[in-house]
Amino acid sequence: MSTQSPRNCTLITGATGGIGRAFAFACARGGDLFLTGRSEQKLAALRAELAERFPGCTVACFACDLTDAADRARLFAAVKAGGWRIFRLCNVAGADIQKAFCRYTQEKIAFQCRINFEAALCVTRFALENRVGTLEIVTVGSISGVYPMPYFAVYSAAKGALESFFTSLREEVRGQRVNVTTVEPGGVYTRPDVCRMIEGQGLWGKLSAKTPEYVAAKSLRAVRKNKRVCRPGFWNKVVAVLPRILPRALRTRFIARRWSKLEKDAF
């Protein structure tokens, strides 16, 4: 039960990461924020920065592991207790493990599926129940979800599932004042290991990579217009139509050769 009078907010998951932070700054111009990530310290630091830049914006925070159902329930309770209703949801939280599937532990498989897929669905369900006005739901998938990616297999499958799910949801909520957009960026300059990987891909990496600010701005414009999918940048649009031109066997072999040389982990 809420102890506060109703307040409206943009709810952002993964707010403490590179892309989530860009969403937070972009959304702070248009109303109050409710931010979540796992780290209380990172959330507090982000809130302090936002307060300095946007003194008129109220920023609420709650640290939560979105792969844990009990923790998610605590987040939802905190949103309700604060009297918050949601007019925009930015599903940004995610984690990218890149390695041969045989090198995964059982825990890592579950973690990847939960954070990259289950978490977005559960938070979306909550936002639909606690919305106000026209609800904008913008979910950060990945261009990796457009086709199967060996050595990035779990991540690309989960991101592909996001596009499939949110495309179905759009149809279910048609006419109910809910805008639903999946964003599919290529490389985005966020963590140092991601930046190194983009640089390591040479010209192709540099052509397709974008800044988090660019991705957030394009995403917010797309969800305002209720676009089904947003692929920020010209090269990502090209990459997305390749499946129509190149045979699958050729594509997956090419990707396997490139990705088998790289490895990154997430926790």
- Which residues make up the interface to ligand NAP (CB under 6 A)? 14-20, 37-39, 42, 64-67, 92-96, 115, 140, 142, 185, 187-188, 190-191, 194
Could you give phi then psi for residue 135, rounded to 5 degrees?
Answer: -90, 125
Q: Which helix (H) or strand (E) holds 255?
A: helix 248-259
Nearer to ligand NAP, 177 or 228 (CB): 228
Q: Are 149 and 155 in contact (CB under 8 A)?
A: yes
Measure the CA–CA gap between 212 and 206, rounded to whole angstroms.
14
C-beta of residue 28 within 8 angstroms of C-beta of residue 107: no
Show the tokens assigned to 165: 């799910």
- Nearest residue (CB) to ligand NAP, 133 versus 265: 265
Angle (CA) 130 133 134, round 5°: 100
* Separation of CA 129 from chain center: 20
Smallest gap from residue 189 Cβ to ligand NAP (A): 7
By C-beta, is 157 or 194 nearer to ligand NAP? Answer: 194
Q: Minimum distance between the CB of residue 107 and ligand NAP, rounded to whole angstroms? A: 12
Q: Looking at beta carbons only, is 115 or 146 nearer to ligand NAP?
A: 115
Which of 125/177 has CB closer to ligand NAP?
A: 125
**To the nearest whole angstrom, how small is the minimum distance from the Cβ of residue 267 to ligand NAP?**
8
Q: How far is the CB of 174 from ligand NAP (least distance, A)?
A: 26
Nearer to ligand NAP, 110 or 194 (CB): 194
Residue 100 Cα to chain centre, angstroms: 23
Token reading at 217: 């701005």
CB of 223 to ligand NAP, least distance (A): 15
Sheet (strand 84-91) strand order: 59-63, 32-37, 7-13, 84-91, 131-140, 178-183, 229-230
DSSP 120-137: HHHHHHHHHHTEEEEEEE
Backbone angles phi, psi at 107, to 5 degrees: -65, -40
At closest approach, how far in Å is the CB of 53 from ligand NAP?
Answer: 19
CB of 67 to ligand NAP, least distance (A): 4
**Cβ neighbours for 164, distance < 8 A, ≥ 6 positions apart:** none
Q: Which is nearer to ligand NAP, 119 or 169 (CB)?
A: 119
